[in-house]
Amino acid sequence: MAFEDLLEDPVIQKYLHELVGPKGMPVAAAPPDGEVTDEELAEELGLELNDVRRALFILYENDLAAYRRLRDEDSGWLTYLWTFQYEEIPEQLEEEMYRLLEGLEERREYERNNEFYLCEHCGIRFEFGEAMEFGFECPECGNQVEAMENTRLVTAMESRIDELRSELNVDAEA
């Protein structure tokens, strides 16, 4: 996928937005060619320098930006020259999808293998053992906790798991 196509992809735009937030999105969405300083970006985009620096650091932490330091011989000041590295975004998104799939599969098993009780008043959910410890009464309000049916939740998780497996071209677990 070409660099320009990456930035037009709504999934990648959403990913960048989730990383840097609304204040950092102008930085992430319009990376310049070549090296640029944070001050140049702030001036060019009309943003606060701190917002630009925050966005650059988040991109750096996620391997989407790199910098090179130059020291001014006279003043000793350091200048950071930033470059953007978005080529890895599709692979990072795929890794994220695998993590999500694994997390959903673990959570589904937890939901399947436990019995839950709910305090309708407080909205607090308890595992069977916790509910039994409290005499099937909510420790917050004293109301009786009721057995909770989680079939719809498990079904929704299974549906999302199937979608992710299909997108990732992963076979169902044995």
Instruction: Please report the sign of the dihedral spanned by the C-alpha atoms of residue 126, residue 129, residue 130, residue 133.
Output: positive
Taking the C-alpha atoms of residue 63 and residue 83, their distance in angstroms, rounded to an integer, is: 11
Decide: pTM greater than 0.85: no
Confidence of residue 9 (pLDDT cuts 50, 70, 90): confident
Written as six digits, the tokens of 128 are 């069977």
Buried residues in 82-120 as b, exposed as e (16+ CB within 10 A): bebebeebeebeeeeeeeebeebbeebeeeeeeebbbbe
When pLDDT is averaged across residues 154-164 and rounded to a whole number, the result is: 94
Confidence of residue 33 (pLDDT cuts 50, 70, 90): confident
pLDDT in tens, 58-90: 999 998 999 999 998 888 899 999 999 888 888
- Parallel/antiparallel/unpaired status of strands 78-84 and 116-118: unpaired
Structural domains of the chain, ranges and CATH numbers in brackets: 3-86 (1.10.10.10), 90-168 (no CATH)
Dihedral class, residue 116 (left if φ above 0, else alpha if ψ from -120 to 50, else beta)? beta
Taking the C-alpha atoms of residue 115 and residue 128, their distance in angstroms, rounded to an integer, is: 5
Q: Across the strands, what pairs with 78?
A: 71
Dihedral class, residue 26 (left if φ above 0, else alpha if ψ from -120 to 50, else beta)? alpha
pLDDT in tens, 93-133: 888 899 999 999 999 999 999 999 999 999 999 999 999 99
Confidence of residue 174 (pLDDT cuts 50, 70, 90): very low
Contact 136, 124 (CB under 8 A): no
pLDDT > 90: what percent of the chain? Answer: 68
